[in-house]
Structure 1
Amino acid sequence: MPSHPIFENPPALPRDAVVEALERALADRAHEPAAANALVGIALNGADREFVEHWCVQVGTRAVAGSPLLGLAGLCLGHTARRFGHLGDEAVALVHSLAARAELDPSDVDGRALDGLDDVRSFLRPS
């Protein structure tokens, strides 16, 4: 009987563990998988929108071109918009920038940034 992989959303890690995972990955790409789990975990399950947004912006502005963390940062900002109905101006501008880069060159920023932009457009409540 063939087995199928089971996908589970990662849990929100404690803040210090998130910061450590993200800073480590921004310094050394070998740590990107753990950082991706940390970022997705807080975007889907974290209670502090400002913390989630801050780290999505940090990753989205500091990760190197071609890093999968760039598209993921855009996607996670979309999740944050969906969950909380609000993003700051810097985060909204970053989502647009990452999506534009993804459209221009998917080897720079992957298409998940476009999904994030769709969520931002769909779920942000007018101020």
Structure 2
Amino acid sequence: MNDDDREFVEHWCMEVGTRAVSGSPLLGLAGLCLGHTARRFGRLSDEALALAASLAARAEVDPSDVDGRAQDGYDDVRSFLHLW
């Protein structure tokens, strides 16, 4: 997260968030990382935005699938990208 290249940071958040298996704590972490990326850089790709929303929705439906950090991350995405 300390990198200045948004695309690089976003790429790795996406990799983790799309490859981790259901129930992995990495899914919640990926959602949280996308929130931090939105805060730090002020934007996300459409794909990253969709993943953040999807992970948060999964966390709401079944916290054993994706932990609540994904919801926290999506709240950050909506806040910092002014999507409320």
Q: Using structure 1 for the length normalisation, give the TM-score.
A: 0.63
Q: What displacement does 1:125 show?
A: 5.6
Are 1:65 and 2:22 matched, yes or no? yes
Give the partner amino acid of 1:63. Answer: A
Structure 2 distance, partners of 1:67, 1:93, is: 19
State the identity as a percent.
81
CA radius of gyration, larger in: 1
Q: Using structure 2 for the length normalisation, give the TM-score.
A: 0.95
- Displaced runs of 4 or more, over 6 A: none
Q: Which has the higher contact order (CA 8 A, sep 6+)?
A: 2
Matched pairs, number? 83
Q: What displacement does 1:120 show?
A: 0.4
| 2:61 aligned partner | 104
Are 1:88 and 2:45 matched, yes or no? yes
- Mark the runs of 5 or more structure 1 residues left unpaired by the alignment: 1-41
Does the CA-based 8 Å contact 1:85-1:125 persist in structure 2?
no
